[in-house]
Chain A
Amino acid sequence: MSDTLLEVKDLEMHFPLKSRGIITRTVGAVKAVDGVSFSIGKGQAMGLVGESGCGKSTTGRLVTRLYKPTAGSIKFEGQEIANANERQLRPLRRDIQMIFQDPYTSLNPRQTVGEIIGAPLEIHKLVPRQGRLKRVQELLEIVGLNPEHYSRYPHEFSGGQRQRIGIARALTLQPKLLVADEPVSALDVSIQAQVINLLQDLQKEFDIAFLFIAHDLAIVRHFCPEISVMYLGKIVETAPREELYTNPQHPYSKALLSASPDIAQAVTGGRRERIRLTGDVPSPVNPPSGCHFRTRCWKAQDVCATTEPPLQPIVGGATGAVACHFPE
């Protein structure tokens, strides 16, 4: 892609573990993100899927620089931001915004909707006070809320409407990249589709790039042409959705797909054979040697314990990459 907006390379986030007592020492690290690389083009959507604890949310927070990575590089429009300080980050905050999962905790209950959505304008001194209300009403209209409701408080809205408020706030500064961290998983099923459709319309209208983080494979597939699967801090497979969903290469991707419930089962009746993954995800403090997935993998052999498989282009495939010694 010539028009790369975001380029992440070998990103690492190791949260230090401190010993207890008066004199604290670092006794280990939670390797939440452990060498992740990907890039997103202008106006493109990339999906990041994985189970809880795989590091997908941490990756999102690193990209928005809510965390400072312990290693690696994040390039936004060619500019290195992995080590930028608060002052250098200021202009960047306009371009990268975030949508949070829980619309109940991500809005200040003591501020009106107008104050919440208008805050970014005030902080960045973009629109004079008199013009702010107009812009807020404009934004409310864009996300499908009544523009006259700017003086209401968050508790007066339903979950889906609150999520729209969160989206309006993220749009205030006309960002180029939106990091959406599980934007619909806290919503009722009938509301999820409304919000997904809204995000899709916004993406087209304003040409916003998305880093879409979710655990629901069906939703990610719907939203993102390009998808990466994460497991224990690493990307194990990245592929266009056509490939990933029809022909997953990594055993973990295969297991994830096989575990997703499918409504079409009602037609055939009864349950299909699925891959049963046993056990839990290992601790990121002490990940298994070699391939992180080997402890739950049915294909694991000796080499998997000794050598970590690099993320390599899929043999015979078009554009995807997989990190496995024995891909499908």
Chain B
Amino acid sequence: MTTRPFLSVENLSVQFPTPDGLVKATSGLSYSLERGKTLGIVGESGSGKSVSSSALLGLHRTSNALVSGEIWFDGTELLGLPENDMRQLRGNNVAMIFQDPLSAMHPYYTVGDQIAEAYRAHNEVTKKEARVRTIEMLSRVGIPQPDRRVDDYPHQFSGGMRQRAMIAMALINDPALLIADEPTTALDVTVQAQILDLLQDLQREFDTAIILITHDLGVIAEVADDVLVMYAGRAVEYGTTKQLLTRPAMPYTRGLIDSVPNVNDPLDRKLHPIPGNPPSLLNPHTGCPFFPRCEFSHLVPDNKCDTELPELVAISPGHLKRCHLPDASVLYGSANDYTPVTAIAERTGTR
């Protein structure tokens, strides 16, 4: 018997029927993740990264979303699991941290009550025991005076503290899989660094698998083991963090790296933006979804990018790309125009 990875998502599609047509939020997405590892999912707003992750928790209502594919979590198929069983998993084995901690918490209940609720829902414990455990978790995530702050309301917490409380809530049942949807986007850099450190410490301690959804490649570079780049609901590049950031093979990934200013750039560097706008998911392009914004499509013969969707193919072990370009080295430009991609390629001697 072949063993499945701890988490394996196969050919996942999420579609929403709307009066304007079918919105294909995620199409044919596959990835896998082992315990103790971090997968970064990168993409712009509307690329389907949050939608696909919500599907893991069964958060899409069947009445307005069409979900297909397979999601294997620790030997169980999650899609089509009865709601009662799903409820047993949710918040217990699989937990989620949301982007905006203020709107994810109920303003009328104390932070402590909300965290304890997650614990009591899955464990036969008294209120008192739950409270003790809550205070212990709050102190684990670095909230000062947890025995006092446990009775505070969300508005009495600062942004960073709220995010910590969210993490405490997500981790109170020692989940095996944690989905963090832009956990630090709303936070300042120093707090972001604290939260990322905290997540890594907790991961080491509990051997948690983490899916980190973000648009910040800097964050990815620092914490992720593998990276999945999404565009218009599809995976366009997938590989280890090092492969992807030092040797991107898809023009969109390269564009993302080059359009972000870096603290180590030469001072006179001109940013290299990706032209155009993110696509609509109502009428996706028939060919490569990135074709309308791609600067390299003219290098592909027969106008193939415009008419034919490229397959996700392996270019080296573990490194997949969805692109018709036969040779990715054209992405690295000439030596005299500086871009982060060329600089990284230079440093690692991969050019």
Contact = CB atoms under 8 A, between A and B. Distances in A.
A52 B221 contact: no
B160 interface: yes
A328 interface: no
A39 interface: no
B159 A52 contact: yes
A161 interface: yes
A266 B226 CA distance: 11
A194 B194 CA distance: 31
Contacts of B277: 158, 160-161, 191
A260 B161 contact: no
Contact of B223 (A257, A263, A271): A271
A189 B264 contact: no
A219 B188 CA distance: 14
B221 A189 contact: no
Given A188-B45, A259-B192, A271-B223, A218 B260 contact: yes
Interface in A186-241: 188-194, 196-197, 215-219, 221-222, 241
Given A189-B256, A266-B344, A222 B265 contact: yes
B260 A263 contact: yes
A242 interface: yes
Interface residues of A, number: 46
A64 B81 CA distance: 58
B289 to A, nearest CB: 13
B259 A257 contact: no
A267 B348 contact: yes
Contact of B273 (A190, A222, A256, A258): A190
B1 interface: no
Interface in B268-288: 269-275, 277-278
B259 A263 contact: no
B144 interface: yes
B344 A267 contact: yes
A303 interface: no
Interface string B271-312: 111110110000000000000000000000000000000000
Interface stretch (A99-107, A273-281, A313-321): A273-281
Nearest to B45: A188
A265 interface: yes
Contacts of A260: 189, 218, 263
A153 interface: no
B257 interface: yes
A262 interface: yes
A261 interface: yes
A171 B277 CA distance: 23
Interface in B205-230: 215-223
Given A188-B45, A263-B221, A215 B189 contact: yes
B246 A194 contact: no
A243 B260 CA distance: 21
A261 B222 contact: yes
A219 B259 CA distance: 11
Interface residues of B, number: 56
Nearest to A245: B263
A258 B144 CA distance: 23
Contacts of B221: 261-266
Contacts of B259: 189-190, 192-193
Contact of B158 (A197, A241, A257, A280): A280
A100 B200 CA distance: 35
Contact of B344 (A222, A241, A245, A264): A264
A128 to B, nearest CB: 35
Q: Give the one of B189, B277, B344 with max A CB within 10 A.
A: B189
Q: Which of B242, B244, B245, B262 has the most chain A CB within a 10 Å cutoff?
A: B262
A266 B269 contact: no
Contacts of B160: 280
A262 B262 contact: yes
A230 B197 CA distance: 24
B335 interface: no
Given A190-B273, A191-B277, A259-B192, A266 B245 contact: yes
Given A188-B45, A193-B271, 5 more contacts: A190-B256, A263-B218, A271-B200, A278-B194, A280-B160
12 contacts: A190-B278, A196-B261, A216-B261, A218-B260, A260-B189, A262-B262, A263-B221, A263-B262, A265-B221, A271-B222, A277-B194, A280-B158
Interface of B: 44-45, 142, 144, 158-161, 188-194, 197, 200, 215-223, 241-242, 244-246, 255-265, 267, 269-275, 277-278, 340, 344, 347-348
